[in-house]
A and B are shown apart, each in its own frame.
Chain A
Amino acid sequence: MAFLELSNVSKSFGGTEVLRNVNLSVEEGEFVAIVGYSGAGKTTLISMIAGLLKADSGSVKLRGQDITEPSPERGIVFQNYSLLPWLTVFENVALAVDQVFPTWSAAQRKAQIEKYLAMVNLTPAIAKLPRELSGGMRQRVSVARALAMEPKILLLDEPLGALDALTRATLQDEIVRIWEQDRRTVVLITNDVDEGILTADRIIPLSAGPGATLGPSVAVDIARPRDRKALNHDPAFKQIRKAVLDYLLGPGGRQKTTVNRKLTLPDLLPENLDEPRTIFGAKRVPRRRSEEKMESVEIA
């Protein structure tokens, strides 16, 4: 039995089947990335693992136990940070820590909060409010909050989707660095194949909905630490990238329908709107490409 096991999970909303027969098994300590289109049902999938949604059929099990409700043993980081705007960085994390470790002394809890905020390099911003932080810093708070609960499994739902390319690259490296410290089980949801290759042990493509399902899993056999630039001459990188992209952009990833239609594009040239619309009172007539001919004439 794998650490996290989803078998034949299906989920529908209002008659539309979002996920169909999803099977997933994740081993303890493994970093798995699920890559798919937006709107494919990635968030639905992670919400079921988190216990925020119940599957219509099939089972979702963590260490052999059915997941029925949310629990601090599954830490989750959302794309939109979900911080309380009136609480400081410290207080936002404290909210989670106080809840999960009520028997600890105040000093122990404070040490726990400070340890995880230091891990995400936020010690200088500890007393700030979320609105005083950049997007990348807010997402770090969210990561610290999830980690401080010491979850058995960390669920990352497109955590870097709202950030610009530079900040995203920095945080990708940081997530890997933190993961390497204690090798917790991680399920990362993303739409970026490169992000998956940089961070994960295994990439699983999710086909486009409705009725999305997981495709063949691709192992990322690339030594860590992985360098964004150097990867480009690693044949394994090219191969993994191709395998995942070919599945997602090919017929397996998205069903495409073709229609045959007879189309005629009128053979017109655009008008110059700076010129008057009438010539000596007469309306202009449309100019056609086929009527404009290049003539070569002799000049006397």
Chain B
Amino acid sequence: MTEIKAMPSPRTRRNYLELRQLNKTYPSPKGPAVIVNDFNLDIAEGEFVTLIGHSGCGKSTVLSMVAGLTDVTAGGMVLAGKEVTGPGPDRGVVFQSPSLLPWMTALENVMLGVNQVFYTASAKERLKIAEYYLTVVGLADSMEKRPAELSQGMRQRVGIARAFALSPKMLLLDEPFGMLDSLTRYELQAVLLDLWKRQRITALMVTHDVDEALYLSDRIVCMTDGPEAEVGDIVSVPFPRPRDRVAVMEHPEYYRLRERLIEFLEVHAHKKRRVKFPSETTTSSEAAA
């Protein structure tokens, strides 16, 4: 199998993705509701960062803004030295539900993006790209199947292949395994990690699964409960790569970190939910490491 080596760069950029003072405010009958406030984060090239927090804490909003699918109310984002303003194929997104086109086969679904991004290449080469990624995610024998013929887990494998096939600068994963049962989830995490170790695409993932965050990421950013979510705690994950589930779970730090994250989530589960308005005093925190 071919292994792609990253472009030799003079130095790995420490702030490949920069998020600066991101703010998302929605108008509401009671005045503007601040969902995300003053969110700062730097991600290094080739780093896997996870945002963790409860449903509704605004973590998906942050991801959606990076994807360019949600407008930014204030603040800015820079990816690989270029400002991010709208959606684009340089950021591959894996959604919670794979959103495949039901009338197309798995292969055609992947080809849809590949044909756009590699339009200069020959049709034969484009097909090879799609086949390569579908095979690596374990769908060598199911490329000609339509989504209805695939299980939930297999559909999400197509979703992962589709995102990687575009060779994006950045991978954005929005609770990619949230709809799967906890055992199938472990399997797909291994598939994702296998693909990721071949290319080390800078990744930002959103999840509320503590084990998933620990298994996949280099750094875990805990978000406080929304509205007006901020960065609460940043945890560095020390497990060596390439990672293997059994080895990770036997690492002496594993259950200590797991407890720390669960504690964070428990504390923030009981925080009173209240929308703050601009007239009230707001607190802000610096998250940039």
Q: Which residues of A contact B (CB under 8 A)?
A: 35-39, 161, 164-166, 191-194, 228-230, 232-233, 238, 241-242, 245-246, 248-249, 253-254, 259, 261, 263-274, 277, 283-287, 289, 292, 294
Contacts and interface: CB of A to CB of B under 8 A. Distances in A.
A290 to B, nearest CB: 10
B4 interface: yes
B121 A268 contact: yes
Given A259-B140, A273-B89, A294-B10, A192 B182 contact: yes
Given A165-B55, A270-B168, A286-B120, A229 B128 contact: no
Contacts of A165: 54-55, 208-209
Contacts of A273: 88-89, 116-117
A17 B85 CA distance: 53
A12 B259 CA distance: 43
B233 interface: no
A254 B167 CA distance: 32
Contact of B128 (A35, A230, A259, A265): A265
Contacts of A253: 183
B259 A166 contact: no
Interface string B103-147: 000000000000011111100011011011001100011000000
A265 B118 CA distance: 13
Given A166-B269, A249-B187, A265-B132, A292 B120 contact: no
Interface in B151-186: 151-152, 166-168, 181-184, 186
A179 B249 CA distance: 31
Contacts of B125: 266, 268, 286
Contact of A270 (B117, B186, B269): B117
B73 to A, nearest CB: 24
26 contacts: A37-B183, A38-B183, A166-B269, A191-B182, A191-B183, A192-B182, A229-B262, A229-B263, A230-B259, A232-B259, A233-B256, A238-B249, A242-B246, A242-B249, A245-B249, A249-B187, A249-B245, A264-B128, A268-B167, A270-B166, A271-B117, A271-B119, A277-B119, A284-B120, A289-B4, A294-B9
Contact of B54 (A166, A246, A254): A166
Contact of B183 (A248, A264, A283): A248
A271 B120 CA distance: 8
B208 A283 contact: no
B180 to A, nearest CB: 8
A238 B255 contact: yes
Given A265-B128, A270-B118, 4 more contacts: A230-B259, A266-B129, A270-B90, A294-B8
B14 to A, nearest CB: 19
